[in-house]
Amino acid sequence: MTRRVTANLSLTLDGRYQGPGGPADMKSIVSYATTEVARRHLTRIWEKATTAVLGRLNAEGFLGFWPTVAADESADPRDRNYAKWLTEAEKVVFSRTLTEAPWKHTRVVNAPPAEVVTKLKSTGSGDILINSSASIIKPLLAADVLDRLYLMICPEIAGGGERLFEDGLPASRWSLTHQEAGDLGELALVYDRQR
């Protein structure tokens, strides 16, 4: 049996994963990251995964944040559990510039994401999670390699910035397998690819 390829990303109502200010412009998303719905969603994305796939920017950003959460006994237990999982899980980081792995249990690759993830599917067990890295999710959508999408929809319109779903993607059908709404209007959604 091949492994399931999953992807996690937070989006605004207008489909943006960042605002018009570029990669650091997360103001339309960040205030929803610590809601009860978001924390339950966070647990959902990693509980069956054994491999985390990241782009370089996310890997470096996560490295600066999550290991401290793993060590922080006062952190929310759900955040801490995710941080511990991420620290210990097998990680694949896509980069054209890194020459050595930034984290333990990590390998750096410079190859087409669909090719690498397809090879990962045929080895090991557990889900492969593309973790908040649109630079990896987009080519996997284009190659129709994703089996599940974990989306957090934040009830704001960013008005500019990068979109996840661009014109030119192959047509595909998805079934909604989980949904949960939060008090702030955020939605946690899980979609499985129908093949």
- To the nearest 10 degrees (0 to 180), the angle between helices 77-88 and 36-46 is 30
Per-residue model confidence as pLDDT tens digits over 115-152: 999 999 999 899 999 999 999 999 999 999 999 999 99
User: What is the pLDDT at residue 44?
Assistant: 95
Please give the Cα distance from 56 to 133 (Å, whole number): 9
Task: Compare 142 and 63 and report the one with higher pLDDT.
Answer: 142
Please give the Cα distance from 138 to 136 (Å, whole number): 6
User: What is the pLDDT at residue 60?
Assistant: 87
User: What is the pLDDT at residue 190?
Assistant: 98
Determine which helix (DSSP H) or strand (DSSP E) holds 70, and give its type and residue range: helix 66-71
Q: Are 10 and 33 in contact (CB under 8 A)?
A: yes
Please give the Cα distance from 106 to 91 (Å, whole number): 5
Name 49's bridge partners.
127
Please determine, for residue 107, whether its predicted confidence score (pLDDT) is greater than 70: yes
Per-residue model confidence as pLDDT tens digits over 4-52: 999 999 999 999 999 999 888 999 999 999 999 999 999 999 999 999 9
Please determine, for residue 102, whether its predicted confidence score (pLDDT) is greater than 80: no
Per-residue model confidence as pLDDT tens digits over 158-184: 999 999 999 999 999 999 999 999 999
Q: Are 33 and 184 in contact (CB under 8 A)?
A: no
Residue 1 confidence class, pLDDT cut points 50, 70, 90: low
User: What is the pLDDT at residue 103?
Assistant: 82
- Tell me the average pLDDT across 54-60: 90
Please state, as a whole number, how many other Cβ atoms lie within 10 Å of the Cβ of residue 7: 27
Q: Which CATH architecture best describes the domain 1-7+28-157?
A: 3-Layer(aba) Sandwich (3.40)
Please determine, for residue 62, whether its predicted confidence score (pLDDT) is greater than 90: no
- Tell me the average pLDDT across 67-90: 92
| pTM for the whole structure | 0.94
